[in-house]
Structures are given as C-alpha cells and as structure tokens.
Amino acid sequence: MIFNIEKLVQPHLRKIIPYQSARRIGGKGSIWLNANESPFSIENTIKRNNLNRYPECQPKNLILKYASYSNVNFKNILVTRGSDEGIDLLSRTFCIPEKDSIMIFPPTYDMYSVTAKIMGINVKQVPLLKNWDLDILNIKLHIKNVKIIYLCRPNNPTGNCFSIQSIKKILEIAYKRAIVVVDEAYIEFCYDKNISSWIHKYSHLVILRTLSKAFSLAGLRCGFLVSNKKIIKILSKIIPPYPISIPTSDIAEEALSKKNIDIIKKNVVLLNQNKNWLIESLKKNVLVEKIYDSDANYILVKFYSSHKVFTFLWNKGIILRDQSKKTNLKRYLRISIGTKNECLILIKSLNSLKL
C-alpha cells in the first residue's frame, strides 16, 4: 500500500526550510571557521558503567556547579540539550500557534524563527538599524500579540552587544506582555557584559547560556536557561523526563570545575587576541570593504566580492559562513576565530587571491 505520505503532514510543515546548520551545509575542509566552535578541545575523564539506570531529569550536582559559575541560585537554572532546547521549550510554553507571535531583530540567529515556524507561531521581524542597534520605535509599534522577544547578545552574526539602556527599554515595553529572552551564547568572550543578575529585578527576563562555544563542548549538547524561579518551575513541567544523559551531565560537571574554568578563561584571552590580530590584518586587505568590531568569537566582514572570496577559500578547505542571503547582509561573510595558525593561513590565502 503506497500513497503520498506528504498529505498527512501538517500543511504548514510541508514546505518548511530546516535550520541551515554548518554540518548540514557541509564542505571538505581542513580549517573550519563556519560554526563559531572553539578550535580547542578539552579533555574529559568520564567513564561510566551504570547506564542501565535513567538519569535525573535535572541533574542536581551539575546545576549547583553552574549556579556557582554564573553567580545565581540553583532554583534559577534549568539544564537543557543545548540552548536550542531552551528556545523550543519557551516557544511551546508561551506561544499559542496561529495566534501569538515572537519578535526577532534580523540579522540574527535563525533558530528563533525556525522553531516558531515549525510550531505555527507568527514571526515579527524588526530589522536592526544600520549601526546594528535596536530600532526601539518600531519595536514599540509592533508589540501587539508578541509573547516572546529574542535578543541575541552579543548578536550572531553582527558581533555587537546592544546597550544596557536599550535592553532596559525593551524590558519596559514587554512588561506584563511578553517574555524577553537574552541569548548569551557568546557571553564568555565579554563576560563583564553579562546581565544574569537582572533576573531578580525582571520576572519576565530569561537568559540562555550554552557550553557549545567558549566551553569547547558543541558536541556535548548542554545548555542552561537562567530566569526567575517561577519560569523555571513552569518549564520543568514541559521538558521531557530525561533530557540530559548521564555521560553528558558528568562531562558538563567536569567542564565546570575550577581547573577547567581557568583553562577556558585562558582560551578566551587567546581567541580574543587572535580576533584582534585578524581584524587588523583584514583591514589591510584590498578585498575587504568593511569590518566590524566584535564582542564574540567571530567577525562579520563585508567583501567587494564575497562570493568569489567564499568559493576560493572553500576550494582550499577553509570554510567560512556565507551570510549574503540574510537581512541587510549582502556580500557579508562571517568568520569564526580559530587558532593563530588558522588565522595566519586564512590571511595568507586571502592575500594570494587576485580578482
């Protein structure tokens, strides 16, 4: 019995475009600068033989470790399978499909809108201003029916941190209306700008964190959601019963040891140095039209001919992220910060490209 299964799929999902992850896009590379991963891997000593038992839904020891690292109470933390699961949980908890909206500020991280679209939730877009700042006036104007506002800080891919004043304004606009999610996936690269202590002042503020970037554990799939404990309590009812495997929580716990946090801090200093070196070197390159400072482990660069640069490097096994199809990012590429040697090879290759 053969028939077209597609007819059984929910209509709004038939033409869905999945998140274009770096792994999905592929490439044959030796230098991977396209997913903002850490170029350094960290060791772990975990070996478990008690996997016949289910894990805790919310591993207590891991939460205590993250609470101490992030300087909040353990009751303010939810552990998730990467921060992508936090986005999924928030959408399912706060938005009624077909009726409610999320608000995003493109160009930004795609998972907010991809997750909403899968659930039939509307997506309101208020593009960033030319200097990558928030357009407060238009945000106010379009707030009706918005239940979640996503702010990425530092923003992926522009690399800037929105000002403290503008975040406060958005929290005021959202008061009694919407949840404000501040995605701090890259906050370790500018840690003094983190706003996790604000959760005590704003009951509608949610912070997303992850071990995927500065902590060098993208392959582990472990993230944290930090907020007022009422939100944590509601989300704990929605989260699947066993989201975090025992090996995952063991490795994450070890990653949050004092010894490892010191290593991460050193790696952050190193990557920030590489970033500054790369920015200065790119400024001298004739292919580069515009380049922005960045608070994160990636930089956004406008090239006179981004497609040629992208494919030239791609064919050499140096894989960058093409941003040219995103809102206001025609001819832009995003470059993750690699090791010093990777940065050197990148610059050397770019200098050898004659248009």
Ligand X SMILES: *Cc1c(COP(=O)(O)O)cnc(C)c1O
Q: Which residues are near ligand X by CB under 6 A? A: 36, 82-84, 109, 152, 156, 183, 185, 210, 212-213, 218, 223
Give the SS3 label for residue 355: coil
Nearer to ligand X, 268 or 288 (CB): 268
Nearer to ligand X, 82 or 338 (CB): 82
**AA identity, residue 64:** L
Beta-bridge partner residues of 298: 336
Q: How far is the CB of 242 from ligand X (least distance, A)?
A: 18
Cα(126)–Cα(119) distance, integer angstroms: 20
Rounded to 5°, the CA angle 314-161-339 comes to: 40
Q: How far is the CB of 316 from ligand X (least distance, A)?
A: 25
Query: What proportions of the chain, in percent to the nearest 5, are helix, strand and coil?
Result: 40, 15, 45
Nearer to ligand X, 76 or 212 (CB): 212
Nearer to ligand X, 178 or 225 (CB): 225
For residue 300, how many other CB atoms are within 10 A of its CB? 25
Nearer to ligand X, 210 or 287 (CB): 210
Cβ(78)–Cβ(99) below 8 Å = no
Residue showing the smallest CB distance to ligand X in the complex: 82
Q: How far is the CB of 296 from ligand X (least distance, A)?
A: 8
Cα(288)–Cα(173) distance, integer angstroms: 39
Nearer to ligand X, 84 or 100 (CB): 84
- Closest by alpha carbon to 321, among 304, 305, 298? 298
- Closest by alpha carbon to 151, among 115, 109, 191? 109
Q: How far is the CB of 144 from ligand X (least distance, A)?
A: 26
Q: How far is the CB of 238 from ligand X (least distance, A)?
A: 17
Cβ(50)–Cβ(246) below 8 Å = yes
Q: How far is the CB of 19 from ligand X (least distance, A)?
A: 10
